[in-house]
Structure 1
């Protein structure tokens, strides 16, 4: 899938950060963008955990390929460690 520069910019500008709530202990820090959710948090005994959720039901149709998948690339320190779609 190839996004136009304009579409990518629009999605990035609409991104929002959801912080962990003090009163709701089960919540975790989350970035929402393009209908997806990316959680990044510290876990006792595990260290840094990054969890990507693509199944929110809010991903716009133009971001979903005909086979129902979403293109994703994950990098760590600028090195691609996973790519699909």
Structure 2
């Protein structure tokens, strides 16, 4: 009985040592990764470039808005002309 308990304790000890080594390796890897990320230089974008991008985005949004309004006006015009043509066709069919 005591022998089985001792064997069980020895096995558990060995498993815990393996797990401990794996965790230490993982910690070392993560520390190395953090150090490499900290040493990496971040790309700095000048304020003028950001302002130019903002201006371009605003310009594109305005163009999109104007184009949408233009398209809506064209659709309205086409619908109006279609209605006129249908009315003229009905009148022509009646009198012709």
Give the TM-score, by structure 2 length: 0.19
Q: Relative contact order (C-alpha < 8 Å, sep 6+): which is higher?
A: 1
Question: Greater share of strand residues, 1 or 2?
Answer: 1
Question: Greater share of helix residues, 1 or 2?
Answer: 2
Largest Rg, 1 or 2: 2
